[in-house]
Structure 1
Amino acid sequence: MTAVRQDAWSPDDDLILAEVTLRHIREGSTQLAAFDEVGERIARTSAACGFRWNSCVRKRYEEAIQIAKQQRQKRNYMKKQTFMAAPHVSSVAVIEGEERTYKNEPLTEESLSIDMVIRFLRQWKGTYQELTRQIKTLERDVREKDEELYTLREQNQKLSLEVNSAQTDYRTVNDDYKTLIQIMDRARRLTVLTEDDESKPRFKMDANGNLERIE
């Protein structure tokens, strides 16, 4: 049974807690398993280790935690690639083994392992080259899209300026049109008044004081 310590955490205890927890993160294990292991090593409870990690130690190892997670992802990816390549490698090894048997060449476990490694490395090289080509293609597509986006932004800015200019011209023409209508309406009213004045009879007074109509 693990003894329960009541003393304060030492720098060595914190270092052990950090190393073990980071190792479990890197290997794809859980932090609970790491706390159990640390508790066994330094005679503390798993709960105490978890509390110490979350409250104090974790803050000092944020960058190391991210690196451990990246290593875990890379590890899982390599396992997946190895699993996918294993059937192909095994079949190639069996065929080569049959050829060696046919030629009366000795087939040893060491030579079979080397062949498997060589085949795997060749396949991995081809996969890496294909991924590199795909990355370059994607980067080229991204550059082309960026250039297209830049061109579209310039066109949009140019069209926006043209629309603003057209709106300004429209307002100016509309104001001029309204002014012209007002001038024409005023001229029409003046013409009507003038015609009314000319249709009325006009008179003047002669020397004797009589009104005389003027034609």
Structure 2
Amino acid sequence: MKGRMWTKEEDQLLADTVLDYIRDGKTQLDAFAFLSKELGRTAGACAFRWNAVVRQLVMRDFKKAKKDSIMNELKKKRVASSHSLKSIMKDLYQVEEKREDMQYRVQKLENKVKEKEERLRQLATENQQLKEHCEAIELYNQVKERYAGILQLLESASGLKPEKESYADKDASDYFSSKPDESKTSVDTETDAQS
């Protein structure tokens, strides 16, 4: 079929198909490959006929198809960027919600830490008081032992036994829990101890 003449219908199909492909953002080569099957001609023959004859006949439509293709591409990009912008905004809202949630959790943990620190200070103070109390009891027991030793020396030296219960016979906890008789002075206490 070499050298076969192009008909008006073939030229019209070539023009319409190529322009449609261009508007849709496809290449002219794709249009020529499609037309080669439709027209029973080679893609090269279709390309040659397009460039040599048909394009000049439809130059205004060709330029409009190119512009339409560019506009369609821009619209697609705009829609894609609009979707991506919406997606970015949605992601930002989610990030902000997560940040607020994390900030709330951090505040809660900081409050717990403050409570634990306060409890630790209270326990440290209580511990210090207990140490001081233990030291006072230990000192009292040492004084009690010395006093008992002195009393034994006095008893063996004088051969007398005390009739009343002395402070040396009292337990340390009794001493710290009971109040001394406020009506007695320290002189009265010493007199009672000597008799």
TM-score range, shorter chain: 0.5 to 0.7
Deviation at 1:94, TM superposition (A): 7.6
TM-score, length-scaled by structure 1? 0.49
Identity of aligned residues (%): 10
Given residue 111 of structure 1, which amino acid in structure 2 is its aligned partner?
A: D
Deviation at 1:105, TM superposition (A): 5.6
1:38-62 CA distance string (max 9 Å, x none): xxxxxxxxxxxxxxxxxxxxxxxxx
Greater C-alpha Rg: 2
Task: Map residues 24-173 of structure 1 onto 2, 5 A cutoff.
Answer: 92=27, 98=46, 101=49, 107-173=57-123
* Correspondence for 1:53: none
Counterpart contact for 1:203–1:212, Cα < 8 Å:
yes
Deviation at 1:92, TM superposition (A): 3.7
CA distance in 2, matches of 1:119, 1:186: 98
Counterpart contact for 1:203–1:213, Cα < 8 Å:
yes
Alpha carbons of structure 1 residues 110 and 96: separation in structure 2 relative to 1, 3 Å: farther
Alpha carbons of structure 1 residues 91 and 170: separation in structure 2 relative to 1, 3 Å: closer
* Correspondence for 2:158: 212
CA distance in 1, matches of 2:26, 2:63: 13
Deviation at 1:213, TM superposition (A): 2.1
Given residue 156 of structure 1, which amino acid in structure 2 is its aligned partner?
A: V
Deviation at 1:202, TM superposition (A): 2.3
* Correspondence for 1:202: 154
1:159-179 CA distance string (max 9 Å, x none): 110111111000000000000
CA distance in 1, matches of 2:105, 2:74: 46
Aligned residues: 121
CA distance in 2, matches of 1:92, 1:212: 132
1:138-197 CA distance string (max 9 Å, x none): 111101110110011101110110111111000000000000000000001111111111
CA distance in 2, matches of 1:100, 1:136: 47
Gaps of at least 5 residues in structure 1 are 1-87, 205-210
CA distance in 1, matches of 2:116, 2:62: 80
Deviation at 1:108, TM superposition (A): 2.2
SS of residue paired to 2:159: strand
* Correspondence for 2:187: none
Gaps of at least 5 residues in structure 2 are 1-21, 33-45, 162-195
SS of residue paired to 1:214: coil
CA distance in 1, matches of 2:124, 2:48: 96
Which 4+ residue blocks in structure 1 deviate beyond 6 angstroms?
88-91
